[in-house]
């Protein structure tokens, strides 16, 4: 468990983190999101006792990092995998860390296996790709088999197989009851990996919610493609739908509000032939839209629930 309370960090006149409060609970993957410079790394460093807060506090398992009795077995972190010294082998690097933390050689062999670096264990880190360095950083974080993991951009440099592997690993670590906090710029990946999201902007909390709730809030409607779009629009609006041409939806155009259709009048919001093909409908389910289309003799060539991506939701709430 990580508890961040009213955490603030000033670097001179730069307010990197400002009154930040959130919890990271065990048994879940929590994603930490924010634009460049939002304060994610600073927050993680304060949780890990690497930077002193100007005010407020960050606790791991109820105490400050420095007060943990067996820190390597309680918290593992990966902050900047690229910084690792290049002269040693992966094995030697991990062994030095393990001995410093009172951890045996056998665990080094285990974590090298776990992160897929067993075959490169005796190679010098200097020759490692970025993805291999990420795996090595993760191995170091896992050495003490800790209950809390704090990972800054762990996906960076991993290939698609590596990304999928990491996702599965982090989800299984959380399923074992561990607390997992990770930052990433890769929104699609974050939406697949994280159960909860803490989103910050300019050092302040913007959202602390579940990934599912955030995406449901930004759910943007049902995409309908029909050669009878104008007629279908009238029928759907009469049933209470709000409709806009789908290709305008991303441009943020105001939706056309629901209104009853006057008999015979053309109340369609659709103005050109291309827009008549695709509609974005809100306020009705796909089933109801399909039934209305059938009742009005309108062919439907596509009927699909359109989900807002985490990237779109993130951009909207952090604007
Ligand atoms: N050691 C430092 N000295 C002075 N200013 C700093 C220092 N570290 C960070 N900052 C500033 O604090 C703010 C937050 O930076 P931080 O690195 O925590 O953001 P971030 O969300 O991790 O960004 P990124 O995604 O780019 O890593 C930025 O304005 C940054 O320039």
Among the atoms of ligand 1, which is closest to the Cα of residue 38?
Answer: 21
Residue closest by Cα to atom 25 of ligand 1: 36
CA of 111 to the centre of ligand 1 (A): 31
Would you state the pLDDT for residue 276? 54
What's the rounded Cα separation, in Å, for the pair 147 and 94?
Answer: 19
Q: What is the pTM of this model?
A: 0.82
Residue 217, classed as helix, strand or coil, is helix
Contact assessment for residue 143 and residue 104, using Cβ atoms and an 8 Å cutoff: no
Among the atoms of ligand 1, which is closest to the Cα of residue 185?
Answer: 25
CA of 166 to the centre of ligand 1 (A): 26
Would you state the pLDDT for residue 83? 74
Task: Report pLDDT digits (tens) over 233-279.
Answer: 999 999 999 998 776 554 444 444 444 444 444 444 444 444 457 89
Would you state the pLDDT for residue 275? 44
Q: How high is the mean pLDDT of the chain?
A: 89
CA of 162 to the centre of ligand 1 (A): 27
Given a cut of 50, the residues of the chain with pLDDT beneath it are 250-275
Q: Taking each helix axis from N to C terminus, what angle separates 90-100 and 130-142, rounded to the nearest 10 degrees?
A: 20
Closest to 61 measured CA to CA, from 46, 53, 71, 51: 71
223 beta partners:
280, 304
Q: Burial code of 138-158, b = ≥16 C-beta within 10 A, e = fewer?
A: bbbbbbbbbbbbbbbbbbbbb
Q: Give φ, ψ of 30 to 5 degrees.
A: -110, 125
Would you state the pLDDT for residue 252? 44
Residue closest by Cα to atom 13 of ligand 1: 16
What's the rounded Cα separation, in Å, for the pair 251 and 253?
Answer: 6
Contacts of 192 (CB under 8 A, 6+ apart): 167
Give whole-number Cα distances, 50 to 5, 64, 87, in Å: 17, 11, 25
Task: Report pLDDT digits (tens) over 97-138.
Answer: 999 999 999 999 999 999 999 999 999 999 999 899 999 999
What's the rounded Cα separation, in Å, for the pair 316 and 126?
Answer: 41
């Amino acid at each position: 468990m990580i508890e961040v309370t009213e955490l603030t960090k000033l670097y001179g006149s730069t307010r990197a983190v400002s009154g930040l409060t959130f919890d990271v609970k065990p048994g879940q993957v929590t994603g930490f999101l924010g634009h460049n410079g939002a304060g994610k790394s600073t927050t993680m460093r304060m949780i890990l006792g690497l930077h002193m807060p100007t005010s407020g506090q960050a606790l791991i398992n109820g105490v400050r990092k420095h007060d943990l009795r067996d820190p390597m077995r309680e918290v593992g972190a990966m902050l900047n995998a690229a910084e690792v010294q290049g002269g040693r082998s992966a094995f030697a690097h991990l062994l030095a860390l393990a001995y410093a933390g009172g951890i045996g050689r056998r665990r080094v062999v285990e974590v090298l296996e776990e992160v897929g670096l067993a075959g490169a264990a005796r190679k010098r880190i200097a020759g490692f790709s970025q993805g291999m360095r990420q795996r090595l950083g993760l191995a170091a974080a896992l050495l003490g088999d800790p209950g809390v993991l704090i990972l800054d951009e762990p996906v960076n440099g991993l290939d698609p197989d590596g990304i999928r592997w990491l996702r599965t690993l982090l989800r299984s670590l959380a399923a074992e009851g561990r607390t997992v906090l990770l930052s990433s710029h890769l929104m699609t990946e974050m939406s697949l990996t994280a159960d909860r999201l803490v989103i910050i902007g300019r050092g302040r909390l913007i959202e602390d919610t579940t990934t599912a709730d955030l995406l449901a809030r930004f759910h943007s409607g049902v995409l309908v493609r029909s050669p009878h779009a104008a007629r279908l629009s009238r029928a759907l609006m009469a049933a209470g739908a709000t409709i806009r041409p789908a290709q305008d939806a991303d441009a943020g155009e105001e939706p056309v509000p629901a209104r009853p259709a006057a008999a015979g009048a053309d109340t369609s919001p659709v103005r050109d032939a291309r827009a008549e093909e695709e509609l974005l409908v809100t306020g009705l389910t796909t089933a109801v839209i399909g039934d209305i289309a059938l009742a009005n003799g309108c062919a439907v060539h596509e009927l699909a629930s359109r989900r807002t991506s985490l990237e779109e939701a993130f951009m909207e709430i952090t604007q």
